[in-house]
Structure 1
Amino acid sequence: MKLTILGGGGFRVPLVYHALLGDRGSGRITSVVLYDADPSRLSAVAAVLRQQAAAALDPPVVTATTDLDDALRGADFVFSAIRVGGLEGRTVDERVALDLGVLGQETVGAGGIAYGLRTLPVAVQIAQRIAAVAPDAWTINFTNPAGMVTEAMIPYLGDRVIGICDSPSGLGRRAAAALGVDPSTAFYDYAGLNHLGWLRGLRSEGVDRLPDLLQSADALTSFEEGRLFGADWLRSLGAIPNEYLHYYYFARETLAAVQGVRQTRGAFLLEQQAAFYAETGEHPEQALELWQKTRAEREATYMVESREVADAGERDERDMAAGGYEQVALSLMRAIAHNERASLILNVRNRGTLRHLDDDAVVEIPCTVDANGALPVTVSQLTDHQAGLVCAVKAVERSTIEAAGAGSRSAALRAFAWHPLVDSATVGRRLLDAYADHLPGLARFRA
């Protein structure tokens, strides 16, 4: 089978290839095509993959191209992992928001809206090309903001596009381990939107073990989310939030922490990855070693400001263990390709699962996956608090999709002004104007 990776020069591509090297089953991926607009990044990542494959038996053949249609032809699966505007764009997303006194995280709040506005037109163009060139391919979307991008691609690809994120599965895995439960046997009652969801139940052998977890301070503080949010707050919620909800529940503290650092997360990654690509270009024989070193530093500093606010300390090595989005993607591919029934938390159309949202709203919920794709399963309904936040952010997502598609300034303004982390329409207008001034892709939204 053939897998095409869009954004094939991206830093995390070796994680996907490593997962493929570990798949020895029949009908596995035998051909990987890397597509990227940047030939130098493609060359660097291809060097890493070659060194990963050196000790493997019959590894998937890797080719690289800057021609999108060539990359798509004959694909069985397409991974979309693009970053429109690169990390340079991300630094603008963050800095503009911070300068106006609001959080600018890349997928949450003002930064996420700016990222979506410039990414959605490109994602739609890609969806149209997939529909034309590889209509039978399954598209697995990693591109952030993942839920928003997946919803924008559905009109062209239908249910053959599925969004994934490793945060929910990672949360479930860590919570199960804290209880001494085999993560592979548990059912996770999880629901919400991408980067905005809650674990409301964890069933093992027919029994919900989440109440046991919430009652044990030792168990709660043994993993990332417990340390991040604190036992008292988690007990008040009666659920364990996705780590990204820290930006909502502790917005003032996180904003102060981010404003106090020397450089934003985007600026750090831009500097770090620029060094990696430059060094790899000069010393391609060290590509894998350089990538591993860079990745270790990247993972250790993930959400560092939020952990400082919570006094959560350094990330536990167990929280950084393998099993991220690349494993979710591999499980999803195998379930579809071989009709191997799997249970995964995915970004798909709601289809009546959560009553507060319409059928076509993309939500992040557990699904049963087989050769027919992903079908949502029954979960408990959102509480009033959860539903209020989810509906507010879904309205933001849809205004962003409308703005990106129609070039509508008024729709873009609504998206910024309506977001729970933006506290006034005046600030929303200033955000839109500043992004339009600093990001060439958003110049069309100038007043």
Structure 2
Amino acid sequence: MTVKVVIIGGGSSYTPEIIEGLVARHDQFPISEIALVDIEQGRAKLQTIEQLAQRMVAKSGKPIKVTAHFDRRQALEGAHFVTSQIRVGGLKAREKDERIPLSHGLLGQETNGAGGIFKALRTIPVLLDIAEDMAAICPDAWLLNFTNPAGMVTEALMKHGKHKQVIGVCNIPFNMRTGVAEVLQCETNDVEIEFVGLNHFIFGRRVLIKGEDRTEEVLEKLKDPDNQYSPANIVSEGWSDLFLSAFKLLPNPYHSYYFKGASMLEKSIEDYNKNGTRAEVVQTVEESLFKKYDDVTLDHKPEELEQRGGAYYSDAACNIMTSIFNDSGDVQTVNTLNNGAISDLPDDAVIETNALIGKQGPRTLSIGKLPLGVKGIVQLMKNMEELVIEAAVTGDTHYLYQALLINPLVRDEALAETVMNELLEAHKDDLPQFYKNV
């Protein structure tokens, strides 16, 4: 059987991660073709990635063909799996998402706050177009969406897209598992975390090591500032004894934006004054990465890629594809429909949760009620996501304003309006749904 994987956003600096993952799993997941897709503006980067991917495959000796495309519909023909890692507007758009809120004293990042909302507004319509193409060209293929904000994008696809075989992917749960493994000095594969919540707003309710509950031990060790885990794009400041003791939940790195807002804002402003926005830092990292990628002797993923913040992406995405292909029925953490897993959220809400992964896709494991201490804020965040999705689909600024106002990182009537108007103007070219009647 031939298996084709299409990578939309193939010119991304992340792509060597997934190439490495696909090559490593070839014995269990025997793909025959990797089709890289990008837009014309990304031609140079796509060509660089295509050549690097070909060198990586050649080094492995695996019989995999690597192709590059600017015609998405053509690339989708015969696809079994499609991954999405796009950035509408590029890193320059992310720079605006971070700089404009920060100029008003608001935390802004590509997945949360006002910046995260506007990245969703730019991204959702494009993913809906991709879903429409897949429904017509490769209706049996699975779409694995890694594009942030992954939870919102996945829910928009499930509610409004023509293609329903969609799974949201994030590296944070895997990052948390590897972090726990480091804290407890054990193997990552021995770590199981019972996750509850939403993408980038997920908590660990229980930690099991080879089936043994070690939750209290992990929480106790996390009280030590030296025992922290965090991706490259978030600096962890640790958590207080009281926070960990009171909630008895394993936080994820993005919770710092919500529960340590004052210190994170201070740090963000300090970083901005010293280095510019995170987007500007990433542009420098990418420039360095692509210089390495252009080296015709390079035939592997460089270690510097982990500075980009996407470490473990290949493990998350490739494990899911391998499990679907082999109908494995193993447990993985994905973004998928709630379907009763969390009784405090609607069935059609997308949550980040543990699920059994097989040829029929994810089957969520029952969670029950949300922990009382975080029930209200998780429901608020889900309500905010629903409003963002409606704004993205309809171009209605009333939905957008409501989403900004109830977002915990905005929560100010005047600032919500000001930031909304400034970001709408800044991203005008990439938000046609808001200007269709102008």
TM-score by length of 2: 0.90
Structure 2 CA distance for partners of 1:257 and 1:223, relative to 1, 3 Å:
closer
Structure 2 CA distance for partners of 1:40 and 1:326, relative to 1, 3 Å:
same
SS, match of residue 98 in structure 2: helix
Structure 2 CA distance for partners of 1:17 and 1:260, relative to 1, 3 Å:
same
Distance in 2 (alpha carbons) for counterparts of 1:17 and 1:59: 13
**Once the two structures are superposed, what CA deviation does each residue of 1:247-267 show, in whole Å capped at 9, x if it has no partner?**
111111111111122311111
Distance in 2 (alpha carbons) for counterparts of 1:138 and 1:404: 23
Alignment gaps of 5+ in structure 1? 303-319
For 2:418, which of 426, 430, 436 is the aligned residue? 430
Residues 1:230 and 2:239 aligned together: yes
Distance in 2 (alpha carbons) for counterparts of 1:220 and 1:158: 45
Is the contact made by 2:177 and 2:193 (CA closer than 8 Å) also made in structure 1?
Answer: yes
For 2:198, which of 193, 200, 203 is the aligned residue? 193
SS, match of residue 55 in structure 1: helix
Structure 2 equivalent of residue 356 of structure 1: 344
Structure 2 equivalent of residue 314 of structure 1: none
Distance in 1 (alpha carbons) for counterparts of 2:108 and 2:164: 31
Structure 2 CA distance for partners of 1:127 and 1:248, relative to 1, 3 Å:
same
Is the contact made by 1:348 and 1:362 (CA closer than 8 Å) also made in structure 2?
Answer: yes
Structure 1 equivalent of residue 296 of structure 2: 285
Distance in 1 (alpha carbons) for counterparts of 2:328 and 2:295: 39
Distance in 1 (alpha carbons) for counterparts of 2:195 and 2:287: 37
Distance in 2 (alpha carbons) for counterparts of 1:416 and 1:5: 32
Is the contact made by 1:221 and 1:227 (CA closer than 8 Å) also made in structure 2?
Answer: no
Structure 1 equivalent of residue 14 of structure 2: 12
**Paired amino acid for 2:282:** L
For 1:411, which of 379, 399, 408 is the aligned residue? 399
**Once the two structures are superposed, what CA deviation does each residue of 1:142-169 show, in whole Å capped at 9, x if it has no partner?**
0110000011111435651000101012
* Greater Cα offset, 99-108 or 230-239: 230-239
Distance in 1 (alpha carbons) for counterparts of 2:24 and 2:306: 20
Structure 2 equivalent of residue 67 of structure 1: 71
Structure 2 CA distance for partners of 1:95 and 1:209, relative to 1, 3 Å:
same
Distance in 2 (alpha carbons) for counterparts of 1:412 and 1:56: 48
**Once the two structures are superposed, what CA deviation does each residue of 1:184-213 show, in whole Å capped at 9, x if it has no partner?**
244311111100011110124543210122
**Once the two structures are superposed, what CA deviation does each residue of 1:391-436 show, in whole Å capped at 9, x if it has no partner?**
1111111111111111101111111111011021211111110011
Distance in 2 (alpha carbons) for counterparts of 1:220 and 1:190: 23
Superposed, 1:240-255 pairs within 5 Å as 240-255=250-265
Is the contact made by 1:105 and 1:112 (CA closer than 8 Å) also made in structure 2?
Answer: yes
For 2:102, which of 98, 102, 109 is the aligned residue? 98
Alpha-carbon shift at residue 42 of structure 1 (Å): 0.6
Alpha-carbon shift at residue 280 of structure 1 (Å): 6.3
Superposed, 1:388-403 pairs within 5 Å as 388-403=376-391
Distance in 2 (alpha carbons) for counterparts of 1:36 and 1:411: 31
* Greater Cα offset, 216-225 or 54-63: 216-225
Structure 2 CA distance for partners of 1:142 and 1:247, relative to 1, 3 Å:
same
Alpha-carbon shift at residue 53 of structure 1 (Å): 2.4
Distance in 2 (alpha carbons) for counterparts of 1:137 and 1:110: 33
Alpha-carbon shift at residue 228 of structure 1 (Å): 3.5
Distance in 1 (alpha carbons) for counterparts of 2:289 and 2:180: 34
SS, match of residue 285 in structure 1: coil
Structure 2 equivalent of residue 34 of structure 1: 36
**Paired amino acid for 1:60:** I
Alpha-carbon shift at residue 178 of structure 1 (Å): 2.4
Structure 2 equivalent of residue 307 of structure 1: none
**Paired amino acid for 1:214:** L
Cα RMSD of the aligned pairs, angstroms, is 2.3
For 1:270, which of 283, 287, 293 is the aligned residue? 283
Superposed, 1:236-385 pairs within 5 Å as 236-261=246-271, 262=274, 263-274=276-287, 276-277=289-290, 279=291, 283-285=294-296, 292=302, 294-299=304-309, 324-379=312-367, 381-385=369-373
Residues 1:179 and 2:189 aligned together: no
Structure 1 equivalent of residue 50 of structure 2: 46
Residues 1:135 and 2:124 aligned together: no
Is the contact made by 1:120 and 1:149 (CA closer than 8 Å) also made in structure 2?
Answer: yes
Question: Stretches of 4+ moved more than 6 A in 1?
Answer: none
* Greater Cα offset, 152-161 or 384-393: 152-161
Identity of aligned residues (%): 30
TM-score by length of 1: 0.88
Structure 2 equivalent of residue 202 of structure 1: 207
Distance in 2 (alpha carbons) for counterparts of 1:296 and 1:286: 20
Structure 2 CA distance for partners of 1:296 and 1:238, relative to 1, 3 Å:
closer
Structure 2 CA distance for partners of 1:53 and 1:424, relative to 1, 3 Å:
same
Distance in 1 (alpha carbons) for counterparts of 2:211 and 2:25: 31
**Paired amino acid for 1:201:** R
Residues 1:147 and 2:151 aligned together: yes
SS, match of residue 103 in structure 1: coil
**Once the two structures are superposed, what CA deviation does each residue of 1:243-289 show, in whole Å capped at 9, x if it has no partner?**
11111111111111111223111111123324544x469x5525658
Distance in 2 (alpha carbons) for counterparts of 1:328 and 1:244: 18
Alignment gaps of 5+ in structure 2? none
Is the contact made by 1:178 and 1:219 (CA closer than 8 Å) also made in structure 2?
Answer: no
Structure 2 CA distance for partners of 1:246 and 1:206, relative to 1, 3 Å:
same
Structure 2 CA distance for partners of 1:418 and 1:218, relative to 1, 3 Å:
closer
Alpha-carbon shift at residue 390 of structure 1 (Å): 1.3
Distance in 2 (alpha carbons) for counterparts of 1:406 and 1:231: 42
SS, match of residue 54 in structure 1: helix
Alpha-carbon shift at residue 97 of structure 1 (Å): 0.6
**Paired amino acid for 2:6:** T
Distance in 2 (alpha carbons) for counterparts of 1:157 and 1:377: 26
Superposed, 1:73-112 pairs within 5 Å as 73-112=77-116
Residues 1:441 and 2:430 aligned together: yes
Is the contact made by 1:432 and 1:445 (CA closer than 8 Å) also made in structure 2?
Answer: no
Structure 2 CA distance for partners of 1:445 and 1:359, relative to 1, 3 Å:
same
